[in-house]
Amino acid sequence: MIRRERHELWMRRALSVASTSPSDVPVGAIVLGPDGAELSAAGNERELTGDPTAHAEILALRRAAAVRGEWRLEDCTLVVTLEPCTMCAGALVLARIATLVFGAWEPKTGAVGSLFDVVRDPRLNHRPEVYGGVLEPECAQLMRDFFR
């Protein structure tokens, strides 16, 4: 399977996760191990938990680390339906995520090229490979539908 097809397949899974959080902004994130097997999945849970850090990416990273038994997620891939914010971009860099795949761009808070570019900052010790705009129309529509 070529890379684009693989990324789209993974993004469809993240989209299905995003649609399970009806009371929060519908963002879905999955973490895949080096072999492509899903380690974790999460949607936003800020409203559910009252936790401002309960973004889909943070929860997926925490759960993947628990599955692996270590905080370093080297050789893992994070797939998320929306461009990560500053907090989430920083967390994925610190977790040593090898590849980031995201769907819709977020011009107001995006930290992977829109507002900031945390993941490519040469001053940091780790910079993941980034693929943005994967299934962007579907991911963006999910956001538009929620904010209507």
Nearest C-alpha neighbor of 65 from the set 54, 76, 55: 76
Tokens of 77: 């891939």
CA separation for the pair 142, 113 (Å, rounded): 21
Which CA distances in Å does 104 have to 35, 52, 110? 25, 21, 10
| Known catalytic membership, residue 57 | yes
Catalytic residue among 8, 38, 57, 136: 57
**Amino acid making up residue 37:** A
Tokens of 83: 């461009």
55 is in an annotated binding site: yes
Known binding-site residue numbers: 55, 85, 88
Give binding residues for Zn(2+) as ranges. Answer: 55, 85, 88
**What residues are labeled active site?**
57
